[in-house]
Amino acid sequence: MRQCVICGYSKIYFFNRINIYRYFLCKNCNTLQLKNNNIISSFSNNYKYQVNKVTRSRLISNSKTILNFIIKHTKARNSLLDIGSGYGYFLNKAKKVFKTTLGLEPSLNLYKYSKEKFNLNVKNQSFENFYRAQNNSKYDAITLIHVIEHIKNPNKFIEDALSLLKVDGMLYIETPNLDSLKKISILLNRSLTHTTNILSTF
């Protein structure tokens, strides 16, 4: 029987199909989930997403908004860990505010870009591997910006991330919202997922 990966509810329902990807909806927690997720290779070395003039300025303005939110709600400015740092636009802003910043980016393409363009402190590593090897470093802020929807076991992932937070630290999670995606997809008459390689939408 199909089970929700988030809340464990035993009944989830077929929602949509895009090419070979089949999405199911949990009626309990309203999370949209991709079930045949063994075909996902979103964190392979070749993974990248397109950045053009419009998306670049959106990434930069989103980065500012996120950073302002974090600054507003946390006092400590010592250390920030950005899991899935991507092209590095957010970390490049965050490093001007936090004393030390570290990014984790499993895709070699994205990692290289963030090193070459912004000279950021980034490891070409998955969070899982980093977590296994870490030496009890704790962070004032940990960010998961459009990352959790790509993770096979998000509950465990969040638990592990929380364990790396300092007391009063902040875990910031940003992920697609199903209700707003539905509205946008109707408006634009387009598929409701921004990419087919996401596992969950909340």
Name which position in 7, 18, 162, 186 contacts Zn ion (CB under 5 A): 7
Binding mask 70-109 for Zn ion (x = CB under 5 A): ----------------------------------------
Residue 178 CA: distances (Å) to CA of 10, 80, 182, 184 = 20, 28, 6, 10
Specify the residue, 79 or 200, whose C-beta has the smaller distance to Zn ion.
200
Specify the residue, 30 or 124, whose C-beta has the smaller distance to Zn ion.
30
Q: How far is the CB of 29 from Zn ion (least distance, A)?
A: 3
Q: How far is the CB of 31 from Zn ion (least distance, A)?
A: 5
| Paired residues of 194 in beta bridges | none
Render 142-195 in DSSP notation, one character per residue: EEEES-GGG-SSHHHHHHHHHTTEEEEEEEEEE---HHHHHHHHHHHTS-SSSS
Reduced DSSP (H G I as helix, E B as strand, rest coil) percent helix, strand, coil of the chain, to 5: 35, 25, 40
Specify the residue, 7 or 39, whose C-beta has the smaller distance to Zn ion.
7
H or E element at residue 123 = strand 122-123
Size of the site for Zn ion (CB under 5 A): 7
C-alpha R_g of the chain: 17
Binding mask 17-36 for Zn ion (x = CB under 5 A): ---------x-xx-------
Q: How far is the CB of 3 from Zn ion (least distance, A)?
A: 9
Residue 5 binds Zn ion (CB under 5 A): no
Residue 9 binds Zn ion (CB under 5 A): yes
Q: How far is the CB of 79 from Zn ion (least distance, A)?
A: 33
Specify the residue, 26 or 198, whose C-beta has the smaller distance to Zn ion.
26
Per the listing, tokens 């590593």 go with 125
* Neighbouring C-beta atoms of residue 191, cutoff 10 Å: 14
| Paired residues of 144 in beta bridges | 83, 173
3-state SS assignment for residue 21: strand
Specify the residue, 27 or 182, whose C-beta has the smaller distance to Zn ion.
27
Query: Which chain residues interact with Zn ion by CB under 5 A?
Result: 4, 6-7, 9, 26, 28-29
